Amino acid sequence: MFFSRSALILCALACATPPTFARTSDPITVVVPFAPGASADVTMRAIAQKLTEQSGQTVIVENRSGGGGIIGAEAVKSSAGRGTMLYQSNIGSHGINPSLYGDRLTYDAIKDFKSVSLLWRFPSVLAVSSQSQARDVASLIKLASEKNLTYGSAGTGSSGHLLGAMLSEATGKPMTHIPYRGAAPAIVDLAANRIDFFFVSYSSIRKLVEDGRLRVLAVASDKRMKLLPDIPTLAERNVNGVVVDSWFGVSAPAGTDDATIDRLHKLFAAAARDPEIVRKLESDGVEAVGSTPLEYDAVIKTDIERLGSVVRRIGVTPE
């Protein structure tokens, strides 16, 4: 059979695979802006493994910690066209950093990325030492009338820092922020009663609570946790507006085409909603999500505005 040269060219163009951001045969690399072994890293690896089991798609988790998430975000921002690289976006990198760093931030959380899916989220709990005089929220506020309370956080500008400042604002009581280099050393000082309270994920302190060394007074969320049905929200104790849910998802470079975003969203959402993953997360007080890209966009934009106003009111500057 004879084909003209022009027909062969047209056929080649029609059959060629377009140079999209991600092809099924290519591995996906997810850049995690936390150190190996961190809870966000462990959860991302579990979801990546489940995604591979479900679809056969290879997923590589690469840790690029440091700079409050900036190092990892910069790497993914500039990766378009050089392989399938995604970023484990989170409340810090995409919710707090835009206001915390302002013009000094080297990426734009909205313009430089496209949302793929919100994968999981969890509230913080208000915890005190078992040695504390505070037995509930009311007695903690009463204690704040008698002395200047100190509260720890995983670092300046972290969700724990903002929640402590929001509690001070909501109660009208001055409270002193003590930043730590991560949650672990803050938890040690909390258990020893060297700081008065700490807003932290329940999974980080669960063993100390079960051992009787820490006490949970309230949940900083709109609803109670399934894992702690007897622990009230702060709003139930007439402390309103002190709500920050930490969240984690995946985002792609801004140049990623919509068809690829759709394919990636389906892969990651299915993995996050797998019953095994859901059970694992729920056992730690974490909610599996697997949202659409538009739903994740809405979460990011809402928190940039809401948490940005908190950052500006309390005058937070990066360390």
pLDDT in tens, 105-120: 999 999 999 999 999 9
Q: CA-to-CA distance for 229 and 2, rounded, in angstroms?
A: 75
Residues near 241 by Cβ (< 8 Å), separated by ≥ 6? 166, 170
CA distance 227 to 240: 22
Q: Residues 251, 254, 258, CA angle at the centre, nearest 5°?
A: 85
- Alpha-carbon span 296 to 250, nearest angstrom: 9
CA distances from 231 to 121, 224, 234 (A): 18, 7, 9
Q: What pLDDT does residue 24 have? A: 53
pLDDT of 23 > 90? The answer is no
Task: Note the pLDDT of residue 8.
Answer: 40
pLDDT on residue 303: 96
Share of the chain above pLDDT 90, in %: 84
Lookup: tokens for 67? 């700079």
Superfamily of domain 123-237: Periplasmic binding protein-like II (3.40.190.10)
Position 15 pLDDT exceeds 90:
no
pLDDT the model gives residue 81: 61
Tokens of 17: 């695979």
Average pLDDT over residues 234-249: 96
- 237-240 LR contacts (CB < 8 Å, sep 24+): 237/136, 237/137, 237/138, 239/137, 239/141, 239/167, 239/170, 239/171, 240/170
Q: What is the pLDDT of residue 317?
A: 81
Confidence check: pLDDT of 185 > 50? yes
> Once rounded to an integer, what is the mean pLDDT over residues 278-297?
96
Scan for tokens 């140079």, then name that residue: 19
Task: Tell me what the mean pLDDT of segment 27-52 comes to.
Answer: 95
Q: How does 86-116 read in b/e, with b if 16+ C-beta sit within 10 Å?
A: bbbbbbbbbbbbbbbbeeebebebeebbbbb
- Overall average pLDDT of the 73-85 stretch: 83
User: Which pLDDT score is estimated for 318?
Assistant: 78
DSSP state of 95: I
Q: Where does the chain hold its CATH 3.40.190.150 domain(s)?
A: 25-122+246-314
What's the pLDDT score for residue 214?
A: 98
Helices (H), 102-234: 137-146, 159-171, 183-191, 202-210
Q: Distance between CA 16 and CA 157 in Å, rounded?
A: 48
Q: Is the predicted pLDDT of residue 42 greater than 50, yes or no?
A: yes
Q: Does 1.20.58.100 match the CATH number of domain 25-122+246-314?
A: no
pLDDT at 157 > cutoff 70: yes
pLDDT number for residue 84? 86
Mean pLDDT score across all residues of the chain: 90
pTM reported for the whole predicted model: 0.87
pLDDT in the model for residue 66: 86
Chain centre distance of CA 58: 23
Residue 2 has pLDDT above 60, yes or no: no
Mean pLDDT of 148-164: 95
CA distance 272 to 3: 49
Q: Residue 83's pLDDT is what?
A: 61
Residue ranges, CATH 3.40.190.10, the chain: 123-237
Token pair belonging to 248: 């984690």
pLDDT confidence band for 20 (50 / 70 / 90):
very low
83 or 119: which carries more pLDDT confidence? 119
pLDDT at 14 (0 to 100) = 39
Q: Is residue 304 scored above 80 in pLDDT?
A: yes
Worst-scoring range by mean pLDDT, 73-82, 248-257, 294-303? 73-82
In the block, tokens 């409340």 appear at 91
Provide mean pLDDT across the span 243-247: 95
Residue pair 34/41 in contact (Cβ under 8 Å)? The answer is yes
Cα separations in angstroms, 254 against 73, 78, 86, 89, 265: 12, 9, 11, 13, 15
Task: Provide the pLDDT for residue 5.
Answer: 43
